[in-house]
Structure 1
Amino acid sequence: MEGDGERLGCAAFDPTAPAVGATAVVLHGAGTSDKERMLGLMRDLAAHGHHAVACDFSGHGESSGELGDLSLKRRFGQARALIDQGVPASDELVLIGFSMSGQTVADLLAHYGPRVTTIGLCAPALYPRDAWAAPFRAGSGFTETIHTPGGWRSSVALDTFRAYRARAVLAVPARDEVIPPEVTEAVAGALAEGSDLTHLVLPEAEHWLGAWFRDHPEDRGRFVRAVVGE
């Protein structure tokens, strides 16, 4: 698939149960993450009647581009390309994001509005407003901006989550060595204002829930059941 000037490697699953008219858009995190970690989750969602799609963001996996040229803004654009090209126009959207893609889910939620009927946030991160357009490469200001104490409080994601009024699932490890607890508390508090929130705490998991769900089908199943409302 072409999107945002890049060739994006994608994966897709058709429903293996009666279709429910919804597509799950599964978005991987930063660093070495890619869509391959998401395949088991996507299969499980397909078994509950969902289409499921995912892509490698540029600089990851099978996609073109350099990781240092990626940004939160470009992640949003690439995820939009995945949805606009890969999701039936009549389908509702189930947005699932890991770590950095918690911000991307919020950006997509603001863009697609009531078409989004469920969000799943897995150890989500928040980012200052000023970091959104900055490339990830050294010297761009991105790293300095995100390490500003309390800077995450300016994230537009929190306002988006406060305004959301449908199903939300927040899955977190009991102890996250990457995301500060006050970030998780802020996300939970924002979602609790209006959404139908399920808060899953995974006692043995680490921050990298994509890899955790890949290797721990019981916890993955708990998450999937919460997402589909069982």
Structure 2
Amino acid sequence: MLSPFTHDHDGERLSCVGSGVRDGSGGGSATAVLLHGAGSGSKERLLPLLDDFAARGLAGLAFDFSGHGGSTGELGESSLQRRFEQAVSVIDATVAPGGPLILVGFSMSGQTVADLARHYGERVAALVLCAPAVYAAEAWPVPFDDRTGGEPGKGAGETGPGQAAGATESRFSRIIRTPDSWRRAPALDVLRAYAGRAVLAVPGTDTVIPPAVTEAVADALGARARLTRFDLPDAEHMLGLWFRDHAEDRRRLVDLALTGPGDQVPTAAEA
């Protein structure tokens, strides 16, 4: 059963939902941590997926980043760094110390999953990346909208990095729209070094993430990870909505996250 709760971090109150995390009812299982994308993204569209992980006996956790859903804060004041720090704060406050993690990230949270994989190291039992984005290092600490009097969140979208920057855009937007800036993404080095199980969910039509970014992520994961590519020919970029509405594909994603070739997600005791 999913239970709502809140978590305070850095002056913001984050709206969270979990199953088997704070009360320990998840036992020694891994914890699936589901992270939504930017723009209009929120944890609400991920709740059916969280339910499916819980149905398989895993603990689960999802929350709204500041400026999204039920959390406080302004979207334009957020950043990739703040999203990472919020995720660490929520995980450390709710998941048993040392317990294995399954990190599931949509779009912009592809970057956050890579940041968390670097931070938690061998605790990470699996990575699940759904139409993921990665960003140049210089974009990481920059607020999504640092323009004076700017519309909150205007520069926080996930428009293709290959598009030209406009004079009225935020600094973050200018960085990510600079052609090939994503090729300098430290996240690709993290994914290249990752040696665990990984799933890359790829929509048939993606007008947000350029194909070259997706292939670079696939190549990086292919270096050492036990990678499964999950192609969804009829889906578009917002895979959170797709999985919400397509139960069979959602269950298949959970299957791929939990069972690789000949291995299983470890329990906390095994980890």
Provide the aligned length of Structure 1 versus Structure 2: 229
State whether residues 8 and 56 of structure 1, in contact with CA within 8 Å, keep that contact through their aligned partners in structure 2: yes
The corresponding residue for 1:7 is 13
Secondary structure in 2 matching 1:135:
coil
Larger Rg: 2
Distance (Å, rounded) in 1 between the aligned partners of 2:229 and 2:143: 32
Flag structure 1 segments of 5+ consecutive residues without an equivalent. Answer: none
Deviation at 1:39? 0.4
Higher percent of residues as helix: 1
* 1:32 aligned partner: 40
Superposition map of 1:63-102 within 5 A: 63-102=71-110
Which deviations, in whole Å up to 9, do the C-alpha atoms of 1:103-136 show, x marking residues without a partner? Answer: 0000000000000010000000011111000000
> Stretches of 4+ moved more than 2 A in 1?
17-20
Letter in 2 for 1:47: A
String of CA shifts for 1:4-62, please: whole Å, max 9, x gaps: 321000000239x9855210010000001101011000000011111000110000011
* Cα offset, 1:177, TM superposition: 1.1
Task: Determine the structure 2 residue equivalent to 1:221.
Answer: 251
- 1:1-230 correspondence runs (5 A): 1-14=7-20, 19=27, 21-139=29-147, 140-229=170-259
How far did 1:163 drift? 0.3
Q: Deviations over 1:156-178 (max 9, x none)?
A: 10000000000000001022111
Q: Supply the distance in 2 between the matched residues of 1:151 and 1:172 (Cα, whole angstroms).
A: 21
User: Separation in 2 of the partners of 1:40 and 1:111?
Assistant: 27
